A and B are shown apart, each in its own frame.
Chain A
Amino acid sequence: MHIDPEKAKALPLRPIEADVERGRLRFFAKATGQRDPVYSDVEAARRAGHPDLPVPPTFFFSLELEDPDAFSFLSELDIDMRRILHGEQSFTYHSLAYAGETLVLRPSIADVYTKKGGALEFLVKRTEVTRPSGEPVAEAEFSLAISHPEVTA
């Protein structure tokens, strides 16, 4: 079954307030094999001119997942979790963010479209990341590919 694009775009996704934690950034650095000490050692970060550990380029995706219900829109739209793959991901950056900050993430479903006669469906979610003052930090765009093997193109 395909997603109703109007229903998807009207779905209210709640904003997320995420605390950027040093320990979490160190864990992320370890899990991604990061050897640059700027991402795990506060002193090394300060020597490089940063006030604290910087948030690495893709970690905004993880900050959004701080909300345990971040993917609940999938079930609200009856999307079969076994048929989804991450299709595309993009980030646009305005300023670096650091451990110790609180960031606000505002997600919304921006687009739903099909390809290959409906055998492949895409859902695009955009997220604005700002400081609590509203100062922009980054934008993220998440594109989910949903396969519909029942449709033969």
Chain B
Amino acid sequence: MTATSEIAVGTELPPLRIEPISRATLALFAGASGDHMPIHIDIDAAKAAGYDDVFAHGMLSMAYLGRLLTDWVPQEKIRSYRVRFAAITPLHAEPTCTGRVTAIDDGVATVALTVSLADGTVTLRGEATIDVR
């Protein structure tokens, strides 16, 4: 955990590397998150929608990126958190979550966030604002 007083523009968050995403990961996340969309857990449903296989829930990556934030500052310091899902996360992918402070205004730091895969694909881009007063 970082003391919020030490946060400056350009500060990089310690990257968070995630274990390869398995079918079990997706089954567990479907149950725990309440998102039972079959496209993420049932290969037949995925194929019917034109995909080769199931793929990860966007909200799983957003939860990983949330861990990057709460590993870095206490959760009550997070003012807002938003993401755009840029690409799907295939099975067996190994996401890495990164973040960098891009601005500090009036005691609020803006952090640019990214989830990328081993092949360089960016699956998610986002931004969080953190209270650093």
Interface residues of A (CB under 8 A from B): 24, 27-28, 30-34, 36, 39, 48, 54, 56-58, 61-62, 65-66, 81-83, 85-93, 95-96, 141
Name A's interface SS: mixed
A89 vs B59: C-alpha distance in the bound complex, in angstroms?
8
B residues less than 8 Å from A91 (CB atoms):
80-82
9 contacts between A and B (CB under 8 A): A31-B29, A33-B19, A34-B67, A56-B70, A56-B75, A58-B81, A82-B39, A89-B59, A92-B79
Contact yes or no, B83 A88, CB < 8 A: yes
A residues less than 8 Å from B35 (CB atoms):
61-62, 65
What 8 pairs between A and B have smallest CB-CB spacing?
A90-B82, A65-B34, A31-B32, A82-B49, A86-B58, A31-B28, A57-B66, A32-B63
Could you say which of A28, A96, A141 has the most chain B C-beta atoms within 10 Å of its C-beta?
A: A28
Please give me the residue from chain B that is nearest to A34 by CB atom: B67
A61 vs B85: C-alpha distance in the bound complex, in angstroms?
15
Contact yes or no, A28 B70, CB < 8 A: no
Given contacts A57-B75, A61-B35, A90-B82, 19 further A-B contacts (CB under 8 A): A24-B32, A27-B31, A31-B28, A31-B32, A32-B60, A32-B67, A36-B67, A36-B71, A57-B78, A58-B59, A62-B33, A82-B48, A87-B85, A88-B82, A89-B82, A89-B83, A90-B81, A91-B80, A92-B80
Q: Pick the residue among A58, A88, A95 that contacts B63 (CB under 8 A).
A: A58
A residues less than 8 Å from B67 (CB atoms):
32-34, 36
Q: Does B69 contact A (CB under 8 A)?
A: yes
Interface range, B side? 35 or more
Q: How close is B24's CB to chain A, nearest CB, in angstroms?
A: 10
Could you say which of A27, A33, A85 has the most chain B C-beta atoms within 10 Å of its C-beta?
A: A33
Q: Does B84 contact A (CB under 8 A)?
A: yes
Contact yes or no, B84 A33, CB < 8 A: no
Contact yes or no, A54 B49, CB < 8 A: no
Contact yes or no, B81 A56, CB < 8 A: no
Contact yes or no, B32 A32, CB < 8 A: yes
B residues less than 8 Å from A58 (CB atoms):
59, 62-63, 66, 81
Q: Pick the residue among B31, B39, B74, B75 that contacts A31 (CB under 8 A).
A: B31
Contact yes or no, A88 B85, CB < 8 A: yes
Contact yes or no, B85 A86, CB < 8 A: yes
Q: Pick the residue among B64, B70, B84 that contacts A87 (CB under 8 A).
A: B84
B residues less than 8 Å from A90 (CB atoms):
80-83
A32 vs B67: C-alpha distance in the bound complex, in angstroms?
9
Please give me the residue from chain A that is nearest to B128 by CB atom: A57
